[in-house]
Amino acid sequence: MAKIGVFIETDKDEVKKTNFGAITAALDGGKNEVVALLMGVDANSAQETLAAYGAQKIVQVTVDSADLTASPDLQARALADAIQHFALEGLIGLASARGRDVFARLSAFLNVTLASDCVGINFEDKTVRKSHFSGKTIATIKLNSDLLLCALRPNAIEAQKALADSQVESYAASVDAPGLVKVLEVKKGDTAKMDLTEADVIITGGRPIDAAENYKMLEECAELLGAAVGASRAAVDAGFAPHSMQVGQTGKTVSPRLYIGCGLSGSVQHFAGMKTSKVIVAINTDKDAPIFQKCDYGIIGDMFEVVPVLTEILREQTGQ
């Protein structure tokens, strides 16, 4: 049994749902002991949520006289100390904006190889699986370091409940140097209704959306589905949507349970960003569109007719 840490991400002191898949990965079907590490956030309030997925130890990491939540650099240094203190053999996190920032610093600080944006881990072989060449291949990579440092693509591993006997601890990490970076303010982008990279369901509009205001049609449907709304690069380049909504090789990488593509041709560059979605549904007027070769369910039809019908059915079913 290996002792694996999970770097828990929070938003306004709430544990993000995407952490649960990382805990499931770390637990490895009960073969490992999982230590959940919260950066300066109260561990008691997170205990029930994290223990439900198998975290046995839930630790509030603090540093003396500094706000750990404000600096990714300080968090990386505190994590380095916690890894040693808890004798962790691996640390798992998310390849989210925050995770990428903290894990890259931690990797440099410890001089340990980092595997980022992984879609699978095998603790016995010390291998990870990563999507390469715009999603055309999945590479299995062997890590030779003693400590397994791995940031997982959010939602790549399905979270599974596995109630654990848990205990809460507080650990004051010893950090010599002050962090090199301090975040003074976070300004949210104008579109950030729901973070695409963390959404369970995504509905995306491609080039034929034709105007920014037409995304309203997708937003209405998304609200009923509890989904985030995405865009293709063609739609972004045409000025219909901001770049923060772009999915693909030069946009965001997503791995939702359900991906509904409306008016997408199915380009390799778009698929590079959403190929690992669990179920892909395509709506396209052209029966020969390449996306129909790559999706699980296809609807040949005009999205301006199909989406409102879907919204109506959802409204009836949800009573909203």
Residues lying near ligand FAD in the complex (CB under 6 A): 206-208, 232-235, 246-251, 263-265, 267, 269-270, 273, 283-286, 289, 302-304
Whether residue 76 contacts residue 93, with contact meaning beta carbons closer than 8 Å, is answered with: no
Q: What type of residue is 236?
A: V
Residue 90 corresponds to which tokens in the numbers above? 């691996």
Pairwise CA distance, residues 243 & 250, whole Å? 9
CB 317 → ligand FAD: shortest distance, Å? 23
Cβ of 172: how many Cβ atoms within 10 Å?
A: 13
Nearest C-alpha neighbor of 34 from the set 108, 123, 100, 117: 123
CB 227 → ligand FAD: shortest distance, Å? 18
Whether residue 82 contacts residue 114, with contact meaning beta carbons closer than 8 Å, is answered with: no
CB 156 → ligand FAD: shortest distance, Å? 18
Pairwise CA distance, residues 202 & 98, whole Å? 21
* C-alpha count within 13 angstroms, C-beta hemisphere, residue 77: 21
State which residue, 24 or 197, has the beta carbon closest to ligand FAD. 197
Residue written as token pair 């029930």: 48
State which residue, 93 or 248, has the beta carbon closest to ligand FAD. 248
State which residue, 156 or 218, has the beta carbon closest to ligand FAD. 218
State which residue, 116 or 284, has the beta carbon closest to ligand FAD. 284
Residue written as token pair 């053999």: 89
Pairwise CA distance, residues 3 & 148, whole Å? 11
State which residue, 286 or 312, has the beta carbon closest to ligand FAD. 286
CB 226 → ligand FAD: shortest distance, Å? 23
CB 263 → ligand FAD: shortest distance, Å? 4
CB 269 → ligand FAD: shortest distance, Å? 3
State which residue, 136 or 182, has the beta carbon closest to ligand FAD. 136
CB 299 → ligand FAD: shortest distance, Å? 9
150 burial (CB, 10 Å; 0-12 / 13-18 / 19+) is buried
| CB-based closest residue to ligand FAD | 248
State which residue, 83 or 262, has the beta carbon closest to ligand FAD. 262
CA 116, chain centre distance (Å): 12
